[in-house]
Amino acid sequence: MTRTAPANLKSNDQCWCGSGRKYKRCHKGSEGRVRPGRVSPMLTVPDGIVPTDYYLTGRPARRDEPMVKSPEIIEAMRRACRIAAEVLAVTGEAVAPGITTDDLDRISHQAYIDRGAYPSTLNYHGYPKSICTSVNEVICHGIPDDRPLEDGDIVNIDVTAYIGGVHGDCNATFLVGEVDPESRRLVEVTRECRDLGIAAVKPGRPLSDIGRAIQGHAEVHGYGVVRTFVGHGIGEQFHLPPNVPHYFTESASTMMKPGMTFTVEPMITLGSWREKMWDNGWTAVTSDGRRTAQFEHTLVVTEDGAEVLTEL
């Protein structure tokens, strides 16, 4: 399909895409952008997979849960996190031009089930799929659909597994075919940002050290750091305190303590760090349509740093 307008096309001409609508009411200004596709019906999990409390209702029950976990919970999280990392690897292997994000969702769904895990995103506040797939300018929470990946795209796959009463959460950005050098650099630096954020984890230090490290590295490269979406506590619940901002803010004053579990998951942008939301209520895209990448790990704070739980 053509992705660029003929150079001479005027606002009031018929759109090049064949919709029959005026160019200005159709593709003008959004050539080359990702557009919402068709979302297939929600998948189910078989008996024998222990579901979350929101599988049938779409509403997670809020419970009191300490930020510092017991050794039993941490041990359970090691398993959930390892499974999440495996599902991410299996799904990432399938990334190639022509495969749809819905295909990736189905592959991941089976990979969770094969390992006895429930896909944490499934019906989480009504979210309809087993992973998030965020292409090019999509910052996060892209919903898998019938859009085939194109040569030159970048796609983030975000996997969260629930097993043994706890969640494990990780994501990575993958290259589709031949990707331009500017985007490849963005992906590489974003991974470095995540890893520098994790290297800043130390008991007795405030969480703001993490964002300071990430923002510093991003800005050296002239990149933006998304502010609206942050890392989060994780354990028996998918998202809970503390918030983990990926930019520096004094307000992230919670002190890190051994046994705390949370994610570090910076979203880094080539241009503006501001987002716009799609009408589906989930998907965030950069306000200027430029590309963005993300990497995520779940970790536990140790006596002298961090143990990454979602590493294979």
Does 145 bind ligand MF3 (CB under 6 A)? Our answer is no
Does 296 bind ligand MF3 (CB under 6 A)? Our answer is yes
Instruction: Pick the binder of Co ion from 145, 153, 158, 275 (CB under 5 A).
Output: 158
Instruction: Pick the binder of ligand MF3 from 86, 102, 137, 265 (CB under 6 A).
Output: 265
Place of tokens 């290259």: 175
Rounded Cα distance, 136 and 285, in Å: 9
CB 131 within 8 A of CB 158: yes
Does 130 bind Co ion (CB under 5 A)? Our answer is no
Task: Look at residue 121 and give the partner it binds from ligand MF3, Co ion, none, a contact being a CB closer than 5 to 8 Å depending on partner kind.
Answer: ligand MF3
Does 297 bind ligand MF3 (CB under 6 A)? Our answer is no
Cβ closest to ligand MF3, residue 123 vs residue 208: 123
Does 124 bind ligand MF3 (CB under 6 A)? Our answer is yes
Range in contact with ligand MF3 (rule: CB under 6 A) among 87-95, 124-132, 189-197, 285-293: 124-132
CB 113 within 8 A of CB 153: no
Total Cβ atoms within 10 A of residue 10: 10
Cβ closest to ligand MF3, residue 111 vs residue 132: 132
CA dihedral 26, 137, 226, 271 (to 10 degrees): -90
Residues that bind ligand MF3 (CB under 6 A): 121, 124-125, 127, 132, 141, 158, 160, 169, 232, 263, 265, 282, 296
